[in-house]
Amino acid sequence: MIAAGELQSFVPFGREHCKNHPNAVNLQLRQLQPASELWSSDGAAGLVGSLQEVTLQEREKERWHLRKGTAPDEVEYEEELYVAGNMVIWTRGSKSQASYVYKAFTVDSPVQQALWCNFTVPQSKKDVKDVVEQTVCIVQSSCVNVHSMSGKDFISPLPFQVSTLWSTKFGLLLERKNITVDGHMSPIREPLPTLFSMLHPLDEIAPVVCLFESRLQYVSDSALRVVFTCHEPSIIMTYDTQQCTHTVWTLRKVTPEEQTTVLKCPEQPGPVHTPNTAPSFLSTHLRNVTRLDSPASPLHCHALHNQSRIPASPGLHSRVHSPSISNMAALSRAHSPGIAAPSFSGAQRFNMSCHTPSPRGHSILASPNSTLNETALLPEMEPILPDLCIEQLWTETSAISREKGCQASKVFITSDLCENRYLCFLVESHQQLRCVKFLESNETSQLIFASVTVIPAKDAAPLEDIHTMLVLEANGSLVLYTGVTRVSKVFVPGLLSPTFSVQNHQPQLSTPLENISTPARATVQHMSRLEEVGMPSPVLEVRSSTQHHESSWLEDSPFQQAAPHIHTLRDPVSNRVTLELSSGSMLRITIPEVATSELVKRCLQAIRFILPKDTAMKVLVKWYNSYNAPGGPSMHLEWNLFVTCLMTMMGYNTERLTWTRNLHFEVPLSPVIAPKKARPADTGSDEDWGYLRCSDYHWQVSLRPVVAVHGLEPVSPPGGVDNQESALGLESSALLFPHIPVLFYVLHLLYEDLKLDELQRSGARALVGLLQQLAKDLQLEDFIDLYWRDYPSFIKTFKEACVIDQAQMELMTWPVFLDGEAPCVFSWLSRCLRGQDVAPFPYLPGICERTKLLVLSYALYVVGDEDAISTNMLKYLSRLSAGQKKNTCDPFLRRQSSVKPAPSSGCLAEKLVVWLTSAGFTLKDLESVPFGVALPIRDAIYQCREHPCSDWSEEVCALIGRQDLTKQAHKVTIANRKSTVGLNVMLEPPVTSEADEEEDGMTDLHPEVTGLIWSQDLRVQEVRRLLQSSRPVRVNVPHLPEVSDHEYIEEKENKLLQLCQRTMALPVGRGLFTLFSYHPVPTEPLPVPKLNLTGRAPPRNTMVDLNSGNIDVPPNMTSWPSFHNGVAAGLKIAPASQVESAWIAYNKPKSADLANEYAGFLMALGLNGHLTKLATLNIHDYLTKGHEMTSIGLLLGVSAAKLGTMDMSITRLLSIHIPALLPPTSTELDVPHSVQVAAVVGIGLVYQGTGHRHNAEVLLAEIGRPPGPEMEYCTDRESYSLAAGLALGMVCLGHGSNLIGMTDLNVPEQLYQYMEGDTINVDVTCPGATLALAMIYLKTNNSSYIQCMSFFVLFALAFTPFSLDPSRSIADWLKAPDTMFLLDFIKPEFLLLRTLARCLIMWDEIFPNADWVTSNVPQIIQENIGNQEQTSVSEDLNMETLVQAHDYIIAGGCLAVGFRFAGSANSDAFDCLYKFARNFMQCLTTSTATVVIICLH
């Protein structure tokens, strides 16, 4: 006997909700009564309004049914569909969450039926799966309301009266009510179709056809009633009320050939209707109306009812309180019929038959191939094409009694513990549960029905999760069955057993929920004494037709009135079922599971797989009774109980084996604190010697006579080791004794699979104890050695072995696969890594899936066999099967020796990752694989992570750790789904905020991707906030009392002027932040963020503007910031974007205020490479306009687009703007100075790195270009000289001493003269010359004098106006002076350029630390600044000059570190630069004396 658990009273949740549910105003107000009472009207108004309508049949009781639901997170719950009156309540609830109302519906008329149904919506594309709509169908007298979980609502009118609706795999199955036909029309009518289908609420209802004995017919037998439908497999069961037999049919879609057969009408003799004589549809329609206009016709009321009511207003048929109905949702289906509600003639198609009567045969009537009767005045209409067809599979034979009223009251499908499936139907009148065993054929995928077993039962309910069913016997006992095998009786606490003596009952009994007690827990020693623990016996399959039914003793006993007994079983879900008692109350009980331990479940699965089904069934039933006895294993762990039970069935005496005997005394961990151990004494004692003599090591050593110590007493084995091994034997008559070898092998394979899971390490250690005992008794030395190697300290405690003689060995079944070496998965994987040949590894399908996964992964990625996961799977895996007699590892299944071309590792890595994902392998599973085993898989994942494919699914991207690609794949999936469904909605609706009101230029960033890259903080949002320039800045100036209002306004404007400097610098950072993040739309202009130079002053948020005239503002202050703002906007455009000349011209602003931004936009297009698309005519148009900033941006842009190409057209364009490149006799052009500067830089860009002599000579001369005789070049000479120097550096970029063909120009010496010459204005020429020298010798690390210098160069240097030491290097020229005299001749900003230039040349000597930065400071500066506090400063030294020189040199060194380690994320470089940046920021707020100290630190 087993005990049921979790006993609790059951009340449908919808009942309480209906009491408080708001009914509609136009509906009758009725009060919901308990289940034992009927519905009745309440109040005078209700009675007056409903006396003529309310009948006894309308007052129906409440109804409900439950089912199992699964949430997306795999959390199971129960769903209840409750029906009462006009209301339907859909509730959900689980163990962890209380029940709640999911949806509630209220309709106009009483609900006849409510059920769940899934409709399939086919898709137009072949590769797209069909969409399954989960719906609730509410049946009324005239229509069916369908409400889907996606929010769609449909109303499907019914053209006839329906008795029952059934949910099937394909949709709804409608069973027509059998209405008596009028006598006048019966001679010309044949039986109407009785079974119809509706595949979608918008589809037309179609009759169901039947394929019976190769004949295709409509299902039109009124005696045929549907009693059961099933989704998987797709079958229905019917009952013939005339022949009293049950029949099982397969339900499928009709084939095109069957549809063609329905449409065919064979010719018969008689007059042929021609088109001229054929009545029109309208006349036929009117004639039918006239013919049916008789009040006596039964079709009159029904047809007119459909005609007048259905088209009126479909919205009045239903009203839903939660959720709201969308009446337009029904129009979303593209292939819906044109008319949702059938017309009069449409309804007539179901109410009249257009065929002649045919003889009835075998419960199916009316072939559609018959023709019209000549005398019938009926419309000529083609038959409706059927959608579904039923085909007979099985019917009851004459061996089973056929008596009237034996229709099945309950039908269900159940399976036993060995996965045999049964179709069970309860014949309540005979108190029989008839179980039909069926199985699937492998070839035709059809169901084959086998024998029928009859079980005496009053009621029954299936328990799907534990593969059993609960049977209520006639005497009131609850019995658990698995299939047709009786397991045990079920004890329900709180209910007296039906076998309780009547004379012993008490006069006053408690209710079922009071005084619930749990019986004393049984122990494992008494397992054999439990009731019904013995081997199960299947119920006899043959039952006499004259069997008399035994009446329950409860029927005539007075005890029935005192103690409630179980009346029926209902609402089975998972392993829970409701007991309806005779008192009217209901109890919800839970039947215990077969096992709760994952290890025990897998062992039982392996045992069931390998043993014969009858033997496996006995083992499982024996274990179930032992484990689920009343009280269960209290003092024993589940695994210990399983080992004891299994070994007992193998023939072991677990009381004599020490380690199994100790299992009875093991208890699980408890919070009881262990007593403290006594502190060991420092000195030894005699007990220590005795402990050593009794140790395991001393006993093993003493067994060797050579090393045995003489003079000692004989050593007894340590505790627990029995010398009388011969006394331990096995009982050969045990159930599992012949199967010990095969059970040992499958448990060993399970052990190998557990070793591949780190989370199952404890389970493997527990299993190895059982395997060690079996291997020692079976004398399998290879397995014993393997277990010793895996767990040496644990295995050495197993000393005992049972003797199995040769006769007993012959009684065992020894499989062939046990003759080889012990399979070890680690050894197999190791041989793969070494490149050795490997034999197929054995595995259990469905049980050792981790082994299969890793073995094939190694075969694919390590061995390099691309077909290992498809066609060559048998080369690496050997599948075990029950009853295997020969080795499946035949020679043709082994690895072939032919050498195949080795595929690339990248291709194998991609295949492995995609295959692992298809097998359900995730990162969580990878973490549980032992690290050494997982290394090849991690290597493949690393390769795929570096080079991912764009078409991978979300699961693959998640496996390789590229969640950023997962978001993109998800967006692509949604986009494809959106295009398939055709919904014009945005994927993610924009979130409106204040930042979106003004375009900030950073809206094109993808927060889904950036959030995955920087998921730990909000740095991206913070950077975006700092770089936005479209909103006014906050001008917070305190208003002091002594400050007047006018002065206060000036202070705010001065503060705003300082803040505007920061705002005008933001476009540079924004351009870098949003680089290549935007793909322009050809029909839309490029959005350019506004450069807002206004402010808001708190607390009133008043506007502060610089245009008031209160302060002096620099003229044209916003020209270059606007230019840079346009550059930042243009840099957003990705290089791969489609940009045309027309779009560039389309972005030209109409307002002159935005011309500067457009000029920057043109320059950015050149940097992106898109300005090459600009037509020559547009270039000419822009240059002739004379707008200075536009010319600058255009010249720089086209030059950058032609970088290093020496393009002649661009060269001519630039030469027009440079007087030095024009012929001497050319006309002087009035070119603005800034445009000349841009043209000079453009020459450097077009000729970058080419070493062009002519341009280099011109640019070298232009660095020191004099003001001219008429001082025409006297203004802004610094910018022109700097541009010429930069251009010269770009032309000769990185050439160093290899300036071919330019040795006579003496470029280094000339540049040095521009830096320190006496006859030239070095304040103008020094910056350009310094940077030119740095760019020419960039990264050359020139530490010695130019060794390639020819003799002529040395000779020329001797006659130069300045003297050069031949030992000095180019880098030494750029060192800062080390004397105070020379420092006074050099501007501090020039020291910055010199330091930077020297570091760029000595590129490899830049180190990211503060010592290297300060090493650039001359010794004289370091000594005098550092000692100014200790010693007096000399009068010859100018401290201000020293401090300025120190700061500029440090800044140059920091700039060099930034260039050297740009984009490297070097932490040392960051710490170094951060330190100096903090020092300089502190200098801004401190005095001059403190500045020196700060700079030194």
pLDDT tens, residue by residue, 439-468: 887 655 688 888 899 999 999 999 998 999
CB atoms within 10 A of CB 924: 7
The residue among 556 and 484 whose pLDDT is bigger is 484
Looking at residue 662, its pLDDT comes to: 67
Distance CA 411, CA 247 (A): 12
CB atoms within 10 A of CB 1444: 16
Q: Residues with Cβ < 8 Å from 1461, sequence gap 6 or more?
A: 1408, 1469
Give the tens place of pLDDT for each residue, 1337-1352: 998 886 543 333 332 2
Distance CA 1190, CA 1157 (A): 9
Query: Above 70 in pLDDT, residue 812?
Result: yes
What is the sign, positive or negative, of the torsion defined by CA atoms of 1016, 1022, 1024, 1027?
negative
Q: Of the spans 238-242, 668-672, 1015-1019, which averages the highest pLDDT?
A: 238-242
Looking at residue 310, its pLDDT comes to: 34
pLDDT-derived band of residue 1300, with 50, 70 and 90 as boundaries? confident
Question: Is the overall model pTM greater than 0.85, yes or no?
Answer: no
Residue pair 432/528 in contact (Cβ under 8 Å)? The answer is no
Give the tens place of pLDDT for each residue, 1150-1159: 888 889 999 9
Distance CA 136, CA 147 (A): 5
Looking at residue 632, its pLDDT comes to: 58
Report in angstroms the alpha-carbon separations of 855 from 542, 824, 828, 875.
50, 12, 8, 11
Structure tokens at 938: 């991690």
Looking at residue 699, its pLDDT comes to: 52
Instruction: Identify the three-state secondary structure at position 1386.
Output: coil
Distance CA 289, CA 279 (A): 15
Buried b (16+ CB within 10 A) or exposed e, 347-369: bbbbbbbbbbbeeeeebbbbbbb
Query: Above 60 in pLDDT, residue 903?
Result: no
Residue among 423, 424, 422 nearest 433 (CA): 424
Mean pLDDT (whole number) for 1175-1187: 90
Lowest mean pLDDT: which of 770-779, 787-796, 1368-1377? 1368-1377
Q: Please report where in the chains the tokens 């557990």 appear, as a residue.
A: 754
Mean pLDDT (whole number) for 561-581: 85
Q: Which helix (H) or strand (E) holds 692?
A: helix 686-693
Report in angstroms the alpha-carbon separations of 1445 from 1378, 1384, 1421.
11, 10, 8
Distance CA 118, CA 167 (A): 8
Query: Above 50 in pLDDT, residue 630?
Result: yes
Give the tens place of pLDDT for each residue, 1249-1277: 999 999 999 999 999 988 866 666 667 88
In 71-187 the beta strands, taken as DSSP E runs, fall at: 76-84, 87-93, 100-107, 113-121, 131-139, 143-148, 153-157, 162-167, 172-176
Q: Of the spans 36-45, 261-270, 1233-1242, which averages the highest pLDDT?
A: 1233-1242
Structure tokens at 354: 């257009």
Looking at residue 724, its pLDDT comes to: 42
Distance CA 492, CA 477 (A): 10
In sequence order, the β-bridge partners of residue 93 are: 78
Distance CA 1092, CA 1123 (A): 14
Query: Above 60 in pLDDT, residue 277?
Result: no
What is the sign, positive or negative, of the torsion defined by CA atoms of 217, 218, 220, 223?
positive
The residue among 108 and 546 whose pLDDT is bigger is 108
Looking at residue 1159, its pLDDT comes to: 95
Q: Average pLDDT over the chain, rounded to whole? A: 76
Mean pLDDT (whole number) for 333-339: 36
Lowest mean pLDDT: which of 450-454, 676-680, 1301-1305? 676-680
Residue type for position 1331 = L
Distance CA 929, CA 938 (A): 11
Distance CA 1315, CA 1140 (A): 46
Give the tens place of pLDDT for each residue, 1390-1418: 999 999 999 999 999 999 999 999 999 99
Distance CA 1215, CA 1254 (A): 13
Residue pair 999/1089 in contact (Cβ under 8 Å)? The answer is yes
Eight-class DSSP state of 30: B
Cis peptide preceding 233, ω within 30 of 0: yes
Distance CA 273, CA 242 (A): 40
CA 1298 from centre of chain: 60
Distance CA 896, CA 902 (A): 14
Structure tokens at 1050: 């000036």
pLDDT-derived band of residue 400, with 50, 70 and 90 as boundaries? low
Percent of the chain with pLDDT over 90: 39
CA 1239 from centre of chain: 56
Q: Residues with Cβ < 8 Å from 1340, sequence gap 6 or more?
A: 1294, 1296, 1297, 1401
Looking at residue 1425, its pLDDT comes to: 79
Query: Above 60 in pLDDT, residue 1320?
Result: yes
Looking at residue 833, its pLDDT comes to: 92
pLDDT-derived band of residue 272, with 50, 70 and 90 as boundaries? very low
Eight-class DSSP state of 1171: G
- Please give the order of strands across the beta sheet that includes 468-472: 2-3, 485-491, 478-482, 468-472, 459-463
Q: Which CB contacts under 8 angstroms, 24+ apart, belong to 1424-1428?
A: 1425/1492, 1425/1495, 1425/1496, 1426/1496, 1428/1492
The helix-helix angle for 849-861 and 931-946 (nearest 10°) equals 50
Instruction: Identify the three-state secondary structure at position 1199.
Output: helix
Q: Which CB contacts under 8 angstroms, 24+ apart, belong to 398-401?
A: 399/542, 399/545, 400/434, 400/452, 400/454, 400/543, 400/545, 401/430, 401/545
Query: Above 80 in pLDDT, residue 1487?
Result: no
Strand 318-322 to strand 235-240: parallel, antiparallel, or no bridges (unpaired)? Answer: unpaired
Residue pair 870/914 in contact (Cβ under 8 Å)? The answer is no
The residue among 1086 and 1013 whose pLDDT is bigger is 1086
Distance CA 1297, CA 384 (A): 94
Length reported for the chain? 1497
pLDDT-derived band of residue 497, with 50, 70 and 90 as boundaries? low
Residue pair 626/524 in contact (Cβ under 8 Å)? The answer is yes
Cis peptide preceding 705, ω within 30 of 0: no
The residue among 46 and 431 whose pLDDT is bigger is 431
Residue pair 694/688 in contact (Cβ under 8 Å)? The answer is no
Task: State the greatest distance between any 2 C-alpha atoms of the chain, in Å, as a whole number.
Answer: 140
Looking at residue 880, its pLDDT comes to: 83
Query: Above 50 in pLDDT, residue 1110?
Result: yes
- The percent of the chain in helix, strand and coil, each rounded to the nearest 5, is 40, 15, 45
pLDDT-derived band of residue 401, with 50, 70 and 90 as boundaries? low
Mean pLDDT (whole number) for 297-321: 35
Q: Please report where in the chains the tokens 């620099």 appear, as a residue.
A: 1114
Query: Above 70 in pLDDT, residue 783?
Result: yes
Strand 1095-1097 to strand 1033-1034: parallel, antiparallel, or no bridges (unpaired)? Answer: parallel
Instruction: Identify the three-state secondary structure at position 754.
Output: helix
Query: Above 50 in pLDDT, residue 384?
Result: yes
Looking at residue 1064, its pLDDT comes to: 94
What is the sign, positive or negative, of the torsion defined by CA atoms of 338, 344, 350, 354?
negative
Residue pair 153/314 in contact (Cβ under 8 Å)? The answer is no
Q: Please report where in the chains the tokens 């397991």 appear, as a residue.
A: 487
Looking at residue 123, its pLDDT comes to: 79
Looking at residue 656, its pLDDT comes to: 77
Distance CA 9, CA 585 (A): 8
Residue among 1150, 1159, 1215, 1154 nearest 1182 (CA): 1159
End-to-end Cα distance, the chain: 86
Structure tokens at 663: 């299992």
What is the sign, positive or negative, of the torsion defined by CA atoms of 633, 635, 636, 638?
positive
Mean pLDDT (whole number) for 741-754: 93
